[in-house]
Amino acid sequence: MTGRKIHTVDPKTGDKTVLVEVEDQPNGMCFAADGALIYSSMFDTKLYRYKDGAKGRVSLDDTGARVLHGQDPGPGRLLRIDPDGAVSSVEEGIIFPNALCISPDGKTLYNAETFGYGLHKFDLGDDGSLSNKQKVWAAASIAGGATGKFVDIDGGCMDAEGGIWLSLLALEQFARLDLKTGTITHRVKVEGHATACTLGGDDGKTLYMLTNWVPEGEDLFTAMVALKTRCTVSAARVDIAHGDAQP
């Protein structure tokens, strides 16, 4: 984000190449069904498509506050962007929404509430509408009941069996949650804030993990703005492939 670039990384060599520069600061991104890259630009509040492709519906989280610039977390919302570019708010009052995932059958949307310390699910209609909101898990449940500024979920992704990998920021781990039982089945511990993850590779069984290291004693957001953080992309092999979940 603060580097204002989107990179591609060769997983075999670690070499990175600038794909596109985003002056207004890139944030979330995903690949459309046709392989086109969709990415958000924070400060001009727009979505962009890298290279043309077929149009489809996009779900987007609006965090509701510029926490990188000193604002306290506040109520955000979930947006639906239709193929014609029309934007609709489909859910309000979420404290810093994050980690949007759609189940393999396309019928359920999951959303982390980063500063609400929980994971929610919604029934997802064919028209992109949301209903029947339920809280299905809380990050504090594996933190000894602790709550705090960063005992929360940042990014996430789903696998073919409907399990969801969660980036547990200050707990410094990526954990797979079995949504059927509510239990953690796998963990990958890291050094630094567990920020984002996605499943990929030739067989969909490589978990790519982004970890953000912050200098000791410094505030995360202040350090990010000052370009003092260091991000690392690492990978781990997992048992269950990506499948048809989104992203």
Residue 32 within a domain: no
How many domains does the chain contain in total?
1
Residue 140 within a domain: yes
> Which range marks the domain in which residue 221 is found?
57-237
Q: Are 4 and 25 in contact (CB under 8 A)?
A: yes
- Could you tell me the pTM of the whole model? 0.90
Residue 175 within a domain: yes
Residue 134: predicted pLDDT:
93
Residue 73 within a domain: yes
Residue 225: predicted pLDDT:
84
pLDDT tens sequence across 163-197: 999 999 888 999 999 999 989 999 999 998 899 99
Return d(Cα 203, Cα 184) in angstroms, integer: 23
Q: How far is CA 82 from CA 79, 106, 127, in A?
A: 10, 16, 9
CATH of the domain at 202: 2.120.10.30
Residue 170 within a domain: yes
Give backbone dihedrals phi and psi of 225, rounded to 5 degrees, phi first: -60, -35
Q: Which of 13-17, 23-27, 70-74, 153-157 comes out lowest in average pLDDT?
A: 70-74
- Mean of pLDDT values over 198-219: 92
pLDDT tens sequence across 121-166: 999 999 999 999 999 987 766 655 455 555 589 999 999 998 999 9
Residue 5 within a domain: no
227: exposed, middle or buried (Cβ count in 10 Å: 0-12, 13-18, 19+): exposed
Residue 17 within a domain: no
